[in-house]
Amino acid sequence: QQQVKQSPQSLIVQKGGISIINCAYENTAFDYFPWYQQFPGKGPALLIAIRPDVSEKKEGRFTISFNKSAKQFSLHIMDSQPGDSATYFCAASKGSSNTGKLIFGQGTTLQVKP
């Protein structure tokens, strides 16, 4: 019930293409769904996050799509750039509390080819 399943494990996209990473969760008590970006040798950094009262959130080239009934959410990176090459983690928590812990997916390694 605490798991967050992420796919694919790795992804190769051409520059300018769309990168799509999917996540599924089980615990319906989760109410905060962030995506983190991690570069080698660095800690994860928050990219974008969504709450289940909306079905989509867009920030620049990054969009989260959220399907509450299916308990799935995805990250879309439009016009992918070589600088987007990194590992991406989805996560979930009971974010309505200031003590809610994050449950992370397994990660997706994205490579954007020039």
Partner 1 sequence: EAGVAQSPRYKIIEKRQSVAFWCNPISGHATLYWYQQILGQGPKLLIQFQNNGVVDDSQLPKDRFSAERLKGVDSTLKIQPAKLEDSAVYLCASSFYIAGEGYNEQFFGPGTRLTVL
What's the closest the beta carbon of residue 108 comes to partner 1, in angstroms?
10
Minimum CB distance to partner 1 smaller for 15 or for 101: 101
**108-113 and 10-14: which strand pairing?**
parallel
What's the closest the beta carbon of residue 82 comes to partner 1, in angstroms?
22
> Could you report how far apart the first and last alpha carbons of the chain are, in Å?
40
What's the closest the beta carbon of residue 81 comes to partner 1, in angstroms?
23
Structure-block tokens of residue 69: 């009934």
Which of 6, 34, 3 has its CA nearest to residue 106? 6
CA 34 to chain centre: 6
Minimum CB distance to partner 1 smaller for 15 or for 68: 68
Which stretches of the chain bind partner 1, using CB under 8 A?
4, 6, 31-32, 34, 36, 41-46, 49, 51, 89, 91, 93, 95-102, 104-107
